[in-house]
Amino acid sequence: MEEECYENAEIKKINAVKELFDNFATRSMAYDFHHVIGLVKFDSFVKTLHTFTENLEKFKEHLRDLKASGCTLLYDALRRGARELEKVKERFPDCRLRIICLTDGNDSGSQTEPVAVTVKLLKSDVTVDSILLGNVENNMVHGISNATGGCCFKPQTTKDGLKLFEIETVLSLEQRKPKKKLDASSISEVGDIITFLALVNKWTIQAPFFLISTLKKKIRESKDGRFMEKEKRILEELRSLHCDPHPFFRVFPSESDFSFWRILMQGPPDTPYQSGVFELYCQFGPDYPVKPPVLRFVTNVYHCNVNSVGRICHNIFDRNYSAHITMKEIFDAVYGLLIIPEPDDPLDSILAEEFLTSREMYEQEAKRHTEEHAGKSLDDM
């Protein structure tokens, strides 16, 4: 762990671990994910540095004192993690259990064998996500992650590593599609683990969309009092956007579920996004309009306030939201972000730094990215 982590950056692996876990805690708080986390260090000994807590600032304080020394008891540490998580499960039976293992992938000195620890993890229903640091290949760690329904990542640069924990599906198990796990009874030798390499399917949005006649029928039904408050409000928003359309947005509600909208947005003129047409989706949850809808980009967009899975950072979705906010106002806010980014409140810290230190480069890359990913016309979409 004292070796350098990436070829082109003089950063030691132990410092990379600190940075990545710090980013995990920071983003968990920013996204309001309810994580209860502990910290286990493994070198010549396996030691629990911090018991489970919801106080992520305390967790970050313990990270600063991490030092590397001696061996790497990786498999023993995984076994310790499984035992500690079993205790949590006893108190909170509905919680999901996960180990995030940041390592150079090289076990040395563990008394626990990889087969035994994999069986233990599966029986305890613990998912292992692993992040391999540095120039290392380790099919065993990769296999354990896949066998337990987790993922194995190998960032090539510091930037790639930090961006991992800006992705919601990496931050939270609740945000990802479940993966198949290996049956614990089928594991008898190391080869059984290594050969189980699952494919991660990309989640795609597929839904049929309203015809105007269907929309008019829904509006008529709403006048008959057949709808609850949420449905009435959604139809009010649709009616408003139909009668007074937003000049840069087109809305296509799903025919089977009109609380789900497909949205097309034209990029703002005189910005790097002006030649683009961007696809978004909007999902109105059960608590709408008390709570805001979920609005995300489907089209990949190069922007410091939008992360790699389309989440948008704007105060209209949290502290500035109220039940009186209309969808047109929300569209205006998102459109405004593309005109004037807010680097002081970013979702992508790397792009925010680029915007502040090299704005011309940022805008050139945003323009190139738009041409590549959002180059279709409205009619082609």
Task: Enumerate the domain spans of the chain.
Answer: 10-201, 209-374
Tell me the CATH number for domain 10-201.
Answer: 3.40.50.410
Single pTM value for the model: 0.62
Active site residue 282: no
Whole-angstrom distance, CA of residue 117 vs CA of residue 24: 25
Give, for all 381 residues of the chain, the pLDDT tens digit: 455 554 544 457 777 777 888 888 888 887 888 888 888 888 778 888 878 888 888 887 777 777 766 678 889 999 999 999 999 999 889 999 999 998 876 788 889 898 899 999 999 999 999 888 877 676 788 888 888 998 888 887 777 777 788 777 888 888 777 778 878 777 766 665 655 443 333 333 333 344 445 555 555 555 555 457 888 899 999 999 988 889 899 999 987 888 999 999 999 999 999 999 999 999 999 999 999 999 999 999 999 999 888 999 999 998 899 999 999 999 999 999 999 999 998 988 889 999 999 999 999 999 999 999 998 877 776
CATH of 209-374, one of 1.10.645.10, 3.40.1080.10, 3.40.50.10480, 3.10.110.10: 3.10.110.10
